[in-house]
Amino acid sequence: MLYQRLDQVRALADITEARPQMTRQQRLRRWADILGREGARPLEALRWVEFYAEPERRQLRRDGSPISLAYADPVLRAAGLEGDTLGDAQTFFSLSDEDAHRLLCDCHFNGAMTGRSAGRRLRAMSHPGIFGRLAQLFA
């Protein structure tokens, strides 16, 4: 067995940062909790999400949006949320285009997105199966 000093091992080792592992359901629920704490405070929905081609759509962002609030959370950033764009959110939260549109586009909120309303939609989405889909209808 070869014995080496700690500084020698560090020089040879490929050290990577360990990220806390969260399931999709845990990530969505954490995001829902963050938004729910905002209560009736208005949030900024993304505008006209469905009209952008994919590369441009993935770059959409807005200050004060649900995504920017998620990115401000150190736990979600430590778990791997890399930015506050729609593409970052879709990748990290495993959102389909349809899910992202339903959750974040202004056409579903008529200018009245609040932390509470966005959090309810996210919480419904975090429930797997038929009950989660039913809850989304009433969120």
How does pLDDT run across 60-77, given as a tens digit for each residue? 999 999 999 999 999 999
Q: Does the residue 77 lie in any domain?
A: yes
Global pTM reads 0.78
Mean pLDDT of all residues belonging to the chain: 86
Q: Does the residue 18 lie in any domain?
A: no
Average of per-residue pLDDT across 46-60: 93
Average of per-residue pLDDT across 34-60: 94
Average of per-residue pLDDT across 43-57: 93
pLDDT at residue 3 in the model? 74
Q: Does the residue 117 lie in any domain?
A: yes
Q: Does the residue 12 lie in any domain?
A: no
Average of per-residue pLDDT across 81-98: 96
CB-CB contact of 125 with 103 (8 Å): yes
CB-CB contact of 60 with 49 (8 Å): yes
Percentage of residues in the chain having pLDDT higher than 90: 63
Q: Identify residue 72 by its one-letter amino acid code.
A: A
pLDDT at residue 4 in the model? 74
Residue numbers of the domain that contains 46: 24-138
| Residue corresponding to tokens 């309303």 | 117
Q: Does the residue 43 lie in any domain?
A: yes
Any idea which of 15-19, 29-33, 51-55, 122-126 has the lowest mean pLDDT? Answer: 15-19
| Contacts of 13 by beta carbon, 8 Å cutoff, 6+ apart | none
Q: Does the residue 8 lie in any domain?
A: no
Q: Does the residue 110 lie in any domain?
A: yes
pLDDT at residue 90 in the model? 97
pLDDT at residue 86 in the model? 97
Residues pairing with 114 in the sheet: 42
Q: Does the residue 105 lie in any domain?
A: yes
CA dihedral 4, 19, 78, 81 (to 10 degrees): 130
Average of per-residue pLDDT across 70-93: 97
**Domain count for the chain:** 1
- Give 105's DSSP letter: B
pLDDT at residue 115 in the model? 94
